Amino acid sequence: MDSPISSSAPGRLGERSALSHLLMPSDVALRRVYPPAPVVAVAAAVLKDGCLLLVRRASEPGRGKWSLPGGVVRLGERLREAVVREVHEETGLTIEVVGLLDVVEVIRRDEEGRIKYHYVIVDYLARPLSGELRAATDALEARWVPLEEVRSLEITSTLRRLLDEHWDELASLAELS
């Protein structure tokens, strides 16, 4: 029987066949543009003193636009661990996850109709615990924005949709923060 991975000696990995790339998880995890499968990501709606924590994205999709801090889940990482890590990496803040807010899909096609981006994003509600706000890694800027001013910024379509669907809940929580 043919195997996609050939071995030159028992127990040793030899040359890969032309199909072996289809079976290697590391190949799948690294491709965010034109991915072979949806990419799982997380984001956090962090509220404090009536403000929402936002970052201005340094990468596509949405480069230069304001959005919730977040990013891609690493292999073996739990979703809540991923969102805490991503918020800290992008903003310097340590957060506590309060609950699940939404699960959204982002599918963007190129001019030829091919899927260029496909993300499944798990959005959480969170509150800050500690740290000093600063932009880092994938964020050009990070700042607290009064919730009623968020829509006036150049925000991602994903954040606009999230605000439209969860405005009352976020506004109520912002009053309590």
Residues 6+ apart with CB under 8 A from 126: 44, 45, 46, 47, 83, 87, 95, 96, 97, 98
- In the 3-class helix/strand/coil scheme, how is 46-114 assigned residue by residue? EEECCEEEEEEECCCCCCCCEECCEEECCCCCCHHHHHHHHHHHHHCEEEEEEEEEEEEEEEEECCCCC
d(CA 14, CA 7): 4
Q: Identity (one letter) of the amino acid at 87?
A: V
Tokens describing residue 21? 């790339």
What are the tokens at 144?
A: 């607290």
* Burial degree of 15 (CB within 10 A; 0-12, 13-18, 19+): exposed
In this structure, what token pair is assigned to residue 63?
């480069």
141 annotated active-site: yes
Q: Which amino acid is at 95?
A: I
**Residues 141, 148, 165, 175: which is the catalytic one?**
141
Mind telling me the catalytic residues?
Answer: 141
